[in-house]
Structure 1
């Protein structure tokens, strides 16, 4: 019996790793449902910011990658989209962005009826959050105005991963939008070593994310300034905004001598667990996260976190797993960081154990079931609509 086919469009996929969360969200879906659905993925033939294509894949052809077939395109076009959709004949299309040029092209083709009527599921992945919409805000506002009036987003299913994102969709797109709530499916990393030993007066922090204004590294550098003790902050991740990184470099140069801040470049996903285990805390003063895969991954390997209160990961202090702090309260950030500098091994071990406990308590089964319902409901809804039309 032929299985249901799902056609996924995502700008970057495996073996890439630089875009982090959005890529992990798709690979985790494929990993969990590859025995139920046949996944066909259209993506770029190179990783984000890379000039050269992946050496290990065949360009402009289908490749077997894990539980999916992946088409690594060297050049996207309307004709390519139309050809692949006709070839695959999917039961549903899953779009992993609101603003991606690939998303816009497919929605235009759908609106003009250049492609058959296929259920479309779209996941904003945090793109409709206020902090994300503020970047190139005028351009995005103009596009959304046009798209809503042109009906590009009519009659599709929105995949919201938490209640706040569902409200962002209603506020930005349509109060009556068809929204299905299905949390991100996380992947627990196995600790590869005991967390770094904690000595009073010393602190090792890791920032592991894209370097851009949304992730708020500059704020983090500023709150480190007056700490007393030996503090190391290692920064990992691709540089997304060169001007923002230049401001960060200026802030780094002005830090006192006891602060050691180094840029380490990007980290392959296979090295994330090992890398996290070398540090005492994940340090991420983000202005907003759709899920925060790196936060979950840090917790799962016993690396407690110091993050902002603008993510799904809340009440961490009460759970003895770290802190989620308001960005408006800089003195509190300083106080928490200074406490971490002065922390001894015994107190730190309690936080490390608490971090792993929080990761274990995440309802992965519930997220898997909700995602399955998302696909089934979108396909069934389209079948009902077609029956009514006939």
Structure 2
């Protein structure tokens, strides 16, 4: 959130250290991410990083380097470009325009002011990750350890998209990462397996403590008459598999309403989806309702009977947890780390997640009475909270401090 940030009047590093109360003994982390708040188009990784920074122990000092604009946007955030902004006493964010030499000069001066204990890069392919790791490899920055969080980029579904380019890049990049002795963060046992399938030599830290415990119960579920209300929230890209969700809705035999929220990240893929929408049968109403700011995600989920999400792969799946926390059961593929949780909270994991298989599940849901749908929503919210209360892991960067020794 923008109001979480307090602008520093100067990028003089001595002034920054004095102002924030940092000490030489603190564990210093420089993190990189292609997009962060106030952006929201990047989805779950933004919310993961926010939670990590919000729950830092007092002895950690973190600077997050990110782009000065949202994913796919040509306009920088007003007043943030090239600035180092304080979130609190333990973390700050530097908003970088990669094409502005002055920004790089300011950033380098800040980063090199003191040794970096840990370089934490989010993504393998991101320009920020590549530049940061090369800087460490060339000893342009003093770095004690490097931790890479691929954020689902090594899942089979992700690697299948533009696969030739990715395989070529990994053929060159993986040996350098191995030589540097980088460590890896997986958000789940599923992602750990995916990392090891590509990097058999990898040392992997598994930590999925990247979502807050909901402060309030899910909104009360009230029975409603009328068609089954379905929602899709996510980036419109091949990985999220919206086209299959639309084909499933088209294959139902009962009245269905399906609302879609998310940025059209891939224009060609969105054109394919629009063709399916144009051929939708009369009993299925489909609406595209645009992008959804992070603050509106959970209230939006609360208005629907189910979240239809046949994703090709999620390393974590924030949006699944947000749906459950809002009392919205999930209809999903088996390509996430939360299959057991989805089933336990009243949703359905469809194996394989074909359009026909999903259509059959949707018809069964549509046949439920209004009272049964409301009961399913209440169950989802209650069981999710019970699960989350028993999920205890340390802050990711505190875990990394121990793991990367």
Residue 63 of structure 1: aligned partner: 85
Cα distance, 1:179 vs structure 2: 1.1
Which residue number in structure 1 is paired with residue 44 of structure 2?
Answer: 21
Do structure 1's residue 74 and structure 2's residue 97 form an aligned pair? yes
Deviation at 1:4? 2.2
- Alpha-carbon distance in 1 for matches of 2:37, 2:342: 35
> Any idea what the Cα deviations from partners look like across 1:147-179, whole Å, max 9, x if unmatched?
123446631211111112112222212x23221
- Alpha-carbon shift at residue 62 of structure 1 (Å): 0.9
Q: Which residue of the other structure, out of 163, 166, 181, is the alignment partner of 1:137?
A: 163
Find the counterpart in structure 2 of residue 335 from structure 1: 360
* Counterpart-to-counterpart distance in 2, 1:48 and 1:372: 25
Distance in 1 between residues matched to 2:280 and 2:354, nearest whole Å: 21
Tell me which residue corresponds to 1:157: 183
Could you tell me how far apart the structure 2 residues matched to 1:132 and 1:347 are? 37
The structure-2 alpha-carbon separation of the partners of 1:153 and 1:131, relative to structure 1 and needing over 3 Å to count, comes to farther
Contact 1:291/1:311 (CA < 8 Å) preserved in 2? yes
Shift of 1:344: 1.3
1:316 positional shift: 5.3
Aligned to 1:111: 137
Matched, 1:44 2:70: no
Hey, what's the Cα distance between the residues in 2 that align with 1:166 and 1:315? 18
After superposition, give the CA deviation of every residue in 1:310-348 in whole Å (9 maximum; x if it has no partner).
111213575242111123554432221011112112222
The verdict on how the C-alpha distance between 1:364 and 1:12 changes in structure 2, with shifts beyond 3 A counting, is farther
Aligned-residue CA RMSD (Å): 2.3
**Is 1:31 aligned to residue 54 of structure 2?**
yes
**In 2 relative to 1, CA 139–45 (structure 1 residues): closer, same or farther, beyond 3 Å?**
same
What's the CA shift string for 1:234-288, capped at 9, x where partnerless? 1101111111100000000000122111111111111112211121111111111
Structure-2 separation of matches of 1:88 and 1:350: 56
- Which residue of structure 2 lines up, in the alignment, with residue 384 of structure 1? none
Whole-angstrom CA distance in 1 between matches of 2:315 and 2:163 = 18
Distance 1:198 1:316 in 2: 26
Give a deviation string over 1:175-224, Cα, whole Å, max 9, x none: 2322111114212444574346332x511111000001111110011111
Q: How does 1:84-233 map to 2 (within 5 A)?
A: 84-87=110-113, 89-151=115-177, 154-173=180-199, 175-189=200-214, 190=216, 193-195=219-221, 197-199=223-225, 202-233=227-258
Structure 1 residue 44, shift from structure 2 partner: 0.9
Conservation of the 8 A alpha-carbon contact between 2:119 and 2:143 = no
Contact 1:191/1:273, CA 8 A, preserved across alignment: no
Cα distance in 2 between the residues matched to 1:366 and 1:91: 28
60-69 or 12-21: bigger deviation: 60-69
1:248 to 2:273 alignment: yes
Question: Structure 2 length normalisation: TM-score?
Answer: 0.86
Distance 2:326 2:286 in 1: 23
Are 2:222 and 2:374, in contact at CA under 8 Å, matched by a contact in 1?
A: no
- Give CA deviations for 1:32-91 in whole Å, capped at 9, x if unaligned: 115442221111111112221112x43212112356211111226775654332035332
- CA pair 315-169 structure 1, distance change in 2 beyond 3 A: closer
CA contact (8 A) 2:55 2:395 kept: no
Q: Distance in 1 between matches of 2:179 and 2:375?
A: 48
Contact 1:25 1:185 in 2 (8 A): yes
CA distance in 1, matches of 2:170, 2:106: 25
Structure 2 SS opposite 1:38: strand
| Partners of 1:153 and 1:224 in 2: CA distance | 49
What secondary structure sits across from 1:42 in the alignment?
A: strand
The runs of 5 or more residues in structure 2 that have no matched partner are 1-21
Against the structure 1 CA distance between its residues 143 and 152, is the aligned structure 2 distance closer, same or farther, given a 3 Å change threshold?
farther
- Report SS of the residue matched to 1:141: helix
Could you say which residue in structure 2 is the equivalent of 1:284? 309
* 1:233 shift after superposition: 0.8
**Distance in 2 between residues matched to 1:318 and 1:236, nearest whole Å:** 24
Give the 3 Å change call, closer, same or farther, for CA 328–20 of structure 1 in structure 2.
closer
Q: 1:139 to 1:329 in 2, by over 3 A?
A: closer
Distance 1:365 1:69 in 2: 30
